[in-house]
Chain A
Amino acid sequence: MPTISFDGQEITFEPGQTIIEAAMASDLYIPHLCWHPDFPPHGSCKLCSVKVNGRICSACTFPAAEGQEVVSSSEEVRQLRLRLTQMLFVEGNHFCPSCEKSGQCELQAMGYYLGMTDNHYPHFFPVRDIDASHPHVLLDRDRCIFCELCVRASRADGKNVFELAGRGIHTRLVVDSPSGKLGDSNLDVNDRAAHICPVGAIVVKETAFRIPIGQRKYDRRTIAEVSVAEEAPLLRKRYEQKED
């Protein structure tokens, strides 16, 4: 099997795999927010930026190729990912202490993982709409990071409930219904799209604060540990299905 060098370690990959897939298959974590093993890669959050033969690339979209030298854990790359995470924090309105997603949120866990102690950049304080019209699902746009996982999941659900609209820093998540309200859409609480959000933008109602502090997803494990434990098997399952 062909190999790449990943942080100095030789790892094998199957032709057609991206760098993040090759790493995941070897239980090696590359930070990511918009990538999910069940959906087509997107390449928008850029948290998975790695240096490939000296050039910055997105590990989730860049194909692995024989002899590549991939650097993921250097201080330079960590610093880049830290700043990207801080950018995501300041462009939205993220109030972790009062957020029901706290402890289960990938953005928050990423902040901890990268050693983030402040926002570094000035806050943008955008004014964004909250949509509580759906009986079972809440859409809090203040927390959206535009990863489009809900967009992709809803397409997989066969529904197209979510899309992005606007442009640039004014990009916003919109809902496919005549009124634009979630309550008028055909989103069902059991849809994958209602559960895929890595942050607290799309949350299921009446489930908040049920898990005690100490038992939440990222209370005792880092995002890296959770990802390797939960996402790597999903990826392996996908490959097994492919081979069948």
Chain B
Amino acid sequence: MEIDTAESLDAVAAVVDKAVSQHGTRPQHLLAVLRQIQKDCHYLPKQALQSVARRFSLPLARVVGVAEFYGFLHTQPRGEYDIYFSDCVIDVFHDSEALMQRLCHRLRLQPGAVRGDRRVSIDTTSCTGLCDQGPALLVNGWPVPRLTPTLMDAMADHIERRVPVTQWPAEWFLIEDHLCRHDLLLNTPWRPGTGLKNALRQGVGWLLEQLTASGLRGRGGAGFPTARKWQFCRETPGDHYVVCNADEGEPGTFKDRELLKHYADQVFEGMTLAAFVTGARLGFLYLRGEYECLLRPLQAALRQRRCLGLLGRNLCGLMDFHFDIEIVVGAGAYICGEESALLNSIEGLRPHPRNRPPYPVTCGLWNQPTVVNNVESFAAASLIAVHGGEWFAKVGTEKSKGTKLLSISGDCARPGIYEVPFGITVAEVLGLCGSGETLGVQVGGPAGTFVAPSDYQRRIAYEDLGTGGSFMVFGSHRDIIDIATRFAQFFAHESCGFCTPCRVGTSLQLRLMEKIRRGWATAGDIQELESLKQLLEASHCGLGHTAHNPVQHTLAHYPGHYQARLRDLDFSPGFDLDNELETARQLTGRFGDHLRQV
């Protein structure tokens, strides 16, 4: 959409009007309004931002600050077809880079660029949550898995012929389920309302007892006991809120995609149980932007619950039980998976993580006591309300009760979702998914642990290998330096920029890893890399604290791989002199001949 003429200014105004009337002007609607404008105009025209600022009674600069933060929002025009290839290491190892090159070549544009006629723009984004069926891309928000060269050619053809994405072949968008192993969570039959009605019959005390007995701990990875979180929140006076963190952005994880697709009612019931305990009247499900395609089915699931009297006013016919759930959709920012950043995002602020203490449980959404739990935690809580705590606690280890959903991807025969009992060893998991010779396994995403074959007896459990569920298998033919560099790239890209050590440190770490990968590093660079650990640990939040993990773990287990890349000369330059001079030589037409004439 051009915005130069008076007519198109009217068009922008109409777009903003539509977005505002559709979503509203409360702080939690800001992101939805910006997303809508991005969709309709293919970017956020300045006039639109000004209009949004007026409608929301916010300074323009604050709206710009929010808009510029998110990967899927742009203040410069994008293509009518806006395409993002997942640059997750698993997608890259399945040739996503070559596929992107092919599509770019076909459509005659450079990666990262917008084509002159604004028909199409192609870029990369962090993991899209489709590693079990990658390589994958998003086109105007719609995920396309299992990319092949033939598919790229066909897609280019559709774009050239300007076929609307809604009319592209449906099979391109088909997300397969790959639920490879069922246990407690995935196998237990579910009827809407059963957990809630049971809890209402037996009371809050009973529910908290059952949750305590179940030993359920937060499934996002941090592992805080769910019963205690709900109890603390209940005990803090205020207007309570319940928030479901469905912003799973850890590269290699995709369990929430399946839970929200097939077990959404259970998740919503878990949130309602938290509302029953805390007295919250409003809940939010924060859905990552990459999963926008789940929005309509989720809204349908909410409607169904309202029809059944399980959501809305007078829940289950009770006079004083009101609770409803709104869905907030993200826009491409990994940091929003950090709970306090997520709360800021809902509030329409820049999603910087907050200072702690205070913690969300006492001072969360709009500074009110807030329960924030993972999708999987809520799903588990609703089953515990039906079957009791002991039923859940009979599986797992002493400190890690129940089961864990693993998102397994990479070099194995059967990638997919595996629900495993806590305590299972890495070796056993590798047996389940059918891996061959391996270099190692990244458990818990880049922020987690790189497990080398000598440690395959380690267990998936809070007391050993804690994880949000990402389990990336790397075959023995993979390059460890390449893997660590891509993880460093991920952190540098996703750092929010709030604090010095993470903002600058993740970029320095990436530069050093690139230097090693290209073969220009010396022993001093390794020392420098190691010394970044302490700096990153001074970061503001978990992103910075864990940003050094992939480097630290791979350095510890594969020092030989690093050593082999180093230059051993003491005084060799840290760069390629000829390469650096190349541009100047091209421009001047002097290719070092003058040096030979001396």
A175 proximal to B (CB < 8 A): yes
A170–chain B nearest beta-carbon distance, Å: 7
Q: Which of A87, A90, A168: most chain B Cβ within 10 A?
A: A168
Contact B503 A169 (CB under 8 A): yes
A45 proximal to B (CB < 8 A): yes
Contact A174 B65 (CB under 8 A): yes
Contact B507 A169 (CB under 8 A): yes
Contacts of A58 in B (CB 8 A): 355, 540
Contact B68 A165 (CB under 8 A): yes
Contacts of B70 in A (CB 8 A): 167
> For the complex, what is the distance from the CA of A171 to the CA of B504, rounded to whole Å?
11
Contact A83 B60 (CB under 8 A): no
Contact A46 B499 (CB under 8 A): yes
Contact A175 B61 (CB under 8 A): yes
B535 proximal to A (CB < 8 A): yes
Please report which residues of chain B, range 517-550, place their CB below 8 angstroms from some CB of chain A when the two chains form the complex.
531, 534-535, 537-540
> For the complex, what is the distance from the CA of A43 to the CA of B539, rounded to whole Å?
10
> For the complex, what is the distance from the CA of A101 to the CA of B500, rounded to whole Å?
21
Contact A87 B496 (CB under 8 A): no
> For the complex, what is the distance from the CA of A56 to the CA of B492, rounded to whole Å?
22
Interface footprint category on A: 35 or more
Contacts of B494 in A (CB 8 A): 168
Stretch at the interface among A135-143, A156-164, A218-226: A156-164
B506 proximal to A (CB < 8 A): yes
Contact B507 A83 (CB under 8 A): no
* Residue count of chain B within 8 Å CB distance of chain A: 40
The answer to whether residues A44 and B534 also contact, given A163-B62, A165-B69, A168-B492 and a CB cut-off of 8 A, is no
> For the complex, what is the distance from the CA of A4 to the CA of B355, rounded to whole Å?
21
B498 proximal to A (CB < 8 A): yes
> For the complex, what is the distance from the CA of A123 to the CA of B67, rounded to whole Å?
28
> For the complex, what is the distance from the CA of A180 to the CA of B59, rounded to whole Å?
12
> For the complex, what is the distance from the CA of A46 to the CA of B492, rounded to whole Å?
18
The answer to whether residues A168 and B535 also contact, given A46-B500, A176-B62, A178-B50 and a CB cut-off of 8 A, is no
The answer to whether residues A169 and B492 also contact, given A174-B64, A176-B62 and a CB cut-off of 8 A, is yes
Contact B500 A169 (CB under 8 A): no
> For the complex, what is the distance from the CA of A223 to the CA of B539, rounded to whole Å?
24
Contact A84 B538 (CB under 8 A): yes
B109 proximal to A (CB < 8 A): no
B251 proximal to A (CB < 8 A): no
**Selected contact of B60 from candidates A90, A124, A171, A178, CB within 8 Å:** A178
Contact A46 B501 (CB under 8 A): yes
The answer to whether residues A163 and B504 also contact, given A43-B540, A44-B540, A146-B497 and a CB cut-off of 8 A, is no
Which residue of chain A has the shortest Cβ distance to B540 in the bound complex?
Answer: A43
B505 proximal to A (CB < 8 A): yes
B116 proximal to A (CB < 8 A): no
> For the complex, what is the distance from the CA of A87 to the CA of B495, rounded to whole Å?
15
The answer to whether residues A44 and B60 also contact, given A83-B535, A121-B508 and a CB cut-off of 8 A, is no
A80 proximal to B (CB < 8 A): yes
Contact A88 B500 (CB under 8 A): yes
Contacts of B511 in A (CB 8 A): 122
Contact B62 A168 (CB under 8 A): no
Contact A44 B500 (CB under 8 A): yes
**Selected contact of B497 from candidates A41, A47, A170, CB within 8 Å:** A170
> For the complex, what is the distance from the CA of A22 to the CA of B158, rounded to whole Å?
66
**Selected contact of A84 from candidates B69, B350, B535, CB within 8 Å:** B535
What 6 additional pairs, Cβ within 8 angstroms, besides A90-B504, A167-B68? Answer: A43-B540, A58-B540, A87-B504, A163-B65, A167-B496, A168-B494
Complex A-B, nearest 9 residue pairs according to Cβ-Cβ distance, in ascending order: A176-B61, A171-B497, A87-B504, A163-B61, A160-B59, A165-B68, A168-B495, A165-B65, A61-B355
> Can you list 19 A-B pairs with a CB-CB distance of less than 8 A?
A45-B500, A47-B500, A80-B534, A80-B535, A84-B500, A87-B505, A87-B508, A88-B504, A90-B504, A91-B503, A160-B62, A163-B65, A165-B64, A165-B67, A165-B68, A169-B497, A174-B64, A176-B62, A177-B61
Point out residues on B near A: beta carbons under 8 Å: 46, 50, 59-62, 64-65, 67-70, 333, 350, 355, 357, 492-501, 503-508, 511, 531, 534-535, 537-540
